[in-house]
Structure 1
Amino acid sequence: MTSLLLIAAALAPVAATPLPADPLQSPMWEFIADQVFGDNAVVRFDPRVKVSFPEIAENQRVFPVQVDARAIPDVVRVVIIADLNPIQLPIDFRPAAAEAFVATRIKLDQRTPVRGAVQLKDGSWLVSGGWIDAAGGGCSAPPVSRVKGDWAQHLGEVRGRLWTGADGARLRLAFRHPMDTGLVDKISAYYIDDLKLRTADGRALGEVKMQAAVAEDPVLTLMPKVRAGDTVVFAGRDTNGIDYAGSVAAIADTTGQ
Structure 2
Amino acid sequence: MAQTSAPPGAPGVADAFEGDPFRSLPWVDMRREYLGPQAQVRWEARVRVQGPDFAEDPMNVPIHVQVDPALGPVRQITVLVDRNPIRRVVDYFPVQALPSLSFRFKLEQASPVRAAVQTADGVWHVGGTWVESAGGGCTVSGATRKDGSWSQTLGEVSGRLFSGLPEGAGAASRLRLRVMHPMDTGLVGGIPAFFVNRLSVRDAQDRELARLHSYEPVSENPVFSFDFAQPPAGGVRIVGSDNNGNRITSRLE
- Counterpart selection for 1:65 from 63, 66, 88: 63
Within the alignment, does 1:201 sit opposite 2:205 as a pair?
Answer: yes
User: What's the RMSD between the two structures over aligned residues?
Assistant: 1.6
Count of aligned pairs = 233
- Of 167, 171, 174, the residue aligned with 1:170 is 174
1:147-179 Cα distance to aligned partner (Å, 9 max, x none): 112111111221111122253210011011100
Go from structure 1 to structure 2 and tell me whether the alpha carbon gap of 1:142 and 1:121 turns closer, same or farther (over 3 Å shift): same
Q: Which structure has the bigger radius of gyration?
A: 1
Residue of structure 2 equivalent to 1:5: none
Whole-angstrom distance in 2 between the partners of 1:229 and 1:239: 31
Cα distance, 1:204 vs. partner? Answer: 1.7
1:171 and 1:247 mapped to 2: Cα distance? 12
**Cross-structure match for 2:146:** 147
Matches of 1:30 and 1:147, distance apart in 2:
37
What does 1:77-156 correspond to in 2, within 5 Å?
A: 77-156=76-155
The offset of 1:229, in angstroms, is: 4.7
Aligned to 1:212: 216
Q: Secondary structure at the match of 2:34?
A: helix
Offset at 1:227? 2.3
> Structure 2: where are the runs of 5+ without partners?
1-12, 166-170
Does structure 1 retain, via aligned residues, the 8 Å contact 2:95–2:208? yes
Deviation track 1:104-131 (CA, whole Å, cap 9, x = no partner) reads 0000001111011100111101011122
Cα-to-partner distance string for 1:19-78 (whole Å, 9 max, x where unaligned): 841000111110110111101111001111010111110000000001001422111101
CA–CA separation in structure 2 for the residues paired with 1:164 and 1:20: 42
Answer whether contact 2:51 2:129 (CA < 8 A) is retained. no
Q: Does the CA-based 8 Å contact 1:107-1:213 persist in structure 2?
A: yes
Task: Tell me the equivalent position of 2:24.
Answer: 26
TM-score by length of 1: 0.87
Q: How many Å apart are 1:226 and its aligned residue?
A: 3.6
Distance 2:136 2:118 in 1: 31
Shift of 1:132: 1.2
Distance 1:95 1:114 in 2: 20
- Cα shift readout 1:65-100 (whole Å, capped 9, x = no counterpart): 010014221111011111110111111001111000
Task: State the one-letter code of the partner of 2:25.
Answer: P
TM-score w.r.t. length of structure 2: 0.88
Aligned residues of 2:204 and 2:233 also touching (Cα < 8 A): no
Contact 2:203 / 2:232 at 8 angstroms: preserved in 1?
no
Structure-2 separation of matches of 1:245 and 1:226: 23
Gaps of 5+ in 1: 1-16, 250-257
Aligned CA distance change for structure 1 residues 181 and 234 (closer, same or farther; 3 Å): same
**Which residue number in structure 1 is paired with residue 235 of structure 2?**
231
- Please give the alpha-carbon distance, in whole angstroms, between the structure 2 residues aligned to 1:87 and 1:165: 37
Shift of 1:241: 1.1
